Amino acid sequence: MRAPSPVELTCANAAAPCKLPNIFLSDPPLKQVVSRTVELGARGTLGPAAPWSAALYRTDLDNDIQFIAAGEGALNAGFFQNVGKTRRQGVELAASRRFGELSASIRYSHIDARFRSPFTAASPNNSTADENGAIAVGPGDRIPGIPADTLKLRLDLDLDARWSVGASAIYASDQYAHGDENNRDRHGRVPAYTVVNLDARFQASAELQLFASAANLFDRRYANFGLLGANAFTGPNRTFGPAVGVDPVAEQFRALGAPRGFWVGLRYPFDARKLPIER
């Protein structure tokens, strides 16, 4: 279990939503979140160079806390609220294997995260909201912001005693945007994505290592988060809409992932106890 955090307790009043949750006065109390987890797992090896593991789990939360948007007239403001029961259940699998100078590993996770109690949330930019900007969330609706499936692949190759290269691929399935707690907004889900990273290492000496890496090697454009909001820049050439008589348009805002990037650096460990110290 966990007690509500100070930030959540000081921003729990629907009549006084907050924009920046810090340094607040008293607010209505929130109930503590109680978690009950059942987990079954196993691990072993398929030969001396092939470990594996597997786990099944289910976590039920009572009095879960969610951040609820305040609705019209309070952009980017909201409050924390107990929303009843939620459940997160799934499976985690992992395995690795070495083939001479090449090693490979794979990790897979599936999580089914859903609300289990009905509640009403303010989400005026949801296409199914009523005239008051509210949506009805029911048992079985998926919790936004959590991809159901993630997959990670890793390959490492030792070219010789000093050189090694590696590559990794990360996949995340689609997810619902925040504000779409009822899973029915017309914009649908934030799309799935796959990102590939590359790295290399050179052991110049026993202590000194040089390394280089390339993140998002293929410069994939992707989003890893979504939020329903109102776009006011709907005028000609994306000018401010209301200034030219155009009303804001409800859209799905997405947080774009980092573009392709390159890094070069070095690592040199040392024992601080052996450094000269002036006395």
d(CA 61, CA 115): 10
3-state SS, residue 60: strand
128: left (phi > 0), else alpha (psi -120 to 50), else beta? alpha
Tens of pLDDT, residue by residue over 90-132, are 999 999 999 989 999 999 999 999 999 999 888 889 999 998 8
Please give the structure tokens belonging to residue 114. Answer: 């859903």
3-state SS, residue 163: strand
- Average of per-residue pLDDT values in the chain: 87
Over residues 13-28, the mean pLDDT reads: 63
Pick the CATH number of 38-60+88-117+132-270 from 2.40.170.20, 1.10.1270.20, 3.40.640.10, 3.30.1330.10: 2.40.170.20
3-state SS, residue 207: coil
Question: Closest Cα to residue 179, out of 170, 188, 171?
Answer: 188
User: What are the residue boundaries of the structural domains of the chain, listed by start?
Assistant: 38-60+88-117+132-270
Tens of pLDDT, residue by residue over 45-71, are 988 789 999 999 999 999 998 887 765
Tens of pLDDT, residue by residue over 190-214, are 999 999 999 999 999 888 999 999 9
